[in-house]
Amino acid sequence: MLSESFSTLRDLGRLQEIASVLIHYGFGEMLMRLGVRQVLEKAGRKLRWKYAAEQARLEMPQRVRMALEEMGPTFIKLGQIMGTRVDLFPPDWIRELEKLQRRVPPVHFDSLRRELESDLGAPVERMFARFDFRPLAAASIAQVHRARLHDGTEVVVKIRRPGIQRVVDADLRLMDKLAKLLEFEFPELENFHPREIVRQFGLSIHREMNFVNECRNTDRMGDLFRDDPSIVIPRIYWDYVNERVAVQDYIEGVTGLDPGAVEAAGLDRRVLAAVGARAVLRMILVEGFFHADPHDGNLLYLPGNRIAFIDFGMTGRLSATRRNQVVNLLYGIIEQDAPGTADVLLDWSGASDVDPDRLIVDMDNFIDSYHGAPLKQISLTDMLSDLTRLMRQHHLSLPSDLALLFRALVALDGMGRQNDPDFDIFTETAPFLEQVLKARYEPRALAVRGWRNVAQLVEIFASMPAELRRLLRSAHKGTLTFNIDLSRLDYFGWQLERAASWLAIGLVTAALIVSSSILMTIAGGPTPFSLIGFVAASGGVLWLFFSIWKISRARRRKM
């Protein structure tokens, strides 16, 4: 199976680099079990299967984080996505994954110039009145330079790193193959959904690498907050935008990474906490389109206690149905409705092997642990951590859009408490919950939902005769088929076939021994046929013992 997965020679060089890093951080046994060693050795590539002694003292989350950093931009981004899955990974893993570097050493502008001028269609000096060749910031996928348009507008130019597309595509191919192998060889990892994480990551990083998507997100957010003077969204200059280049307003402000500068600028941090909370909650609960990474590095505080949101490469979307579920969950926690909140979790996960009664009991205990506590003493981060821990205990997982939502809420709570020690996110949330609930039960909204349900019901009944006719026709023709997926059946069949081969060889060997013994007892002494039989029987016995020893040795290596 593995040799088929890595049949493409173009990825073997990258596979060797990744394997070397994983071995260095103590994951050699996993690679041995996956068969990576055999693949690389068949391709004539040797690896040193030892890892640094100093790594042995590190905890597993630390080793994973450091390995991801060393493997390069694609794996750093993957770790950042993993860090959003609070439903899959425990808090110590999330804290470590959140440390993954977002800033990396910049590349020299000469390496960017050729592609940039090809995308712009003219030399940089002609397109801009001024261009600062020193980068403002650098990340794993792109770096940012400050410039000035010919009309005097100050802008920032975001440029994708050259060659990053080729590296990302190769890494995604390897990740997909490795995820399949992990699910096959390590059934205990099934709850982490490796293939689903890789699939979501592939979609996310391709969207993020196409700057047209980011610019559209920025424009859309600008339209949503056009009527709110306290929120600033940079303007996009579409004449300069393409897949690898984005140009937008340069906004000068104070970042939340420097609380002293916020105080020196004369800004009210309590007001900033409230403004930021209202903006993010409006994105989530009202608009259903939100900044998925509202940390201090993506916020700028401006005079007049305004906030500018930048970098919309990672955004989340919530359908009306999903927003209603989020509201139902929050309302159920407030009203101590354990069965209602349990139903929401089951709807999110879609799991069929969960004990609902036990889930309701655990949810009731979860709600009771927060009931009666002063709101200011309740940390949303702690509450979400407890909720996701409960979900992990029941093998429930979040849809990807809700994983981003939880990440945004945790970032919001942290930002609010940093600016205001008395920040109470529940008080800020209440007006939005009230607004959504009122909108849900307005006569017009009820009429729209009722008409939609009636239309769907009519459509089901109208299509039923045709669907039934197709089913009966297939049954009559004998073409009605049922598909049963047994993921490890091929492997089981191979084991059964090997065992049968051993049994057959054992029987033949035993027969040779018996027949040769009989021939040796006849008058005239041993014959050539009896000697040949004994030699063949001895060879069969030796081959059988060698095969069993080889399999046992391979199994001990995996353990």
Which of 161, 184, 163, 138 shows the shortest CA–CA distance to 14?
163
Interacting residues of 487 by C-beta distance below 8 A, sequence separation 6+: 184
CA distance to 29, 149, 165, 234, 415, per residue, from 237 (Å): 51, 10, 24, 10, 30
Among this protein's residues, is 382 annotated catalytic? no
Torsion of CA 255, 260, 264, 270, to 10 degrees: 70
Which of left, alpha, beta for 281 (phi over 0: left; psi -120 to 50: alpha)? alpha
Core vs surface per residue 477-487: b (16+ CB within 10 A) or e? eeeeeeeeeee
Q: How far is CA 498 from CA 34, 35, 74, 249, 549, in A?
A: 20, 20, 41, 67, 14
Cβ 96 vs Cβ 61: under 8 Å: yes
527-559 core/surface letters (b: 16 or more CB in 10 A; e: else): eeebeebbeebeebbeebeeeeeeeeeeeeeee
C-alpha 546/C-alpha 557 separation (Å) is: 17
Q: Are residues 87 and 386 in contact, defined by beta-carbon separation less than 8 angstroms?
A: no
Provide the phi-psi class of 193: left if phi over 0, else alpha when psi is between -120 and 50, else beta. left
Residue 496, Cβ density class (10 Å: 0-12 exposed, 13-18 middle, ≥19 buried): exposed
Question: Which of the following is catalytic: 293, 337, 343, 413?
Answer: 293
Token digits of residue 404: 């981003």
Residues sharing a CB contact under 8 Å with residue 231, sequence separation 6 or more, in sequence order: 225, 275, 279, 306, 307, 308, 309
| CB-CB contact of 136 with 156 (8 Å) | yes
Residue numbers annotated as active site = 293
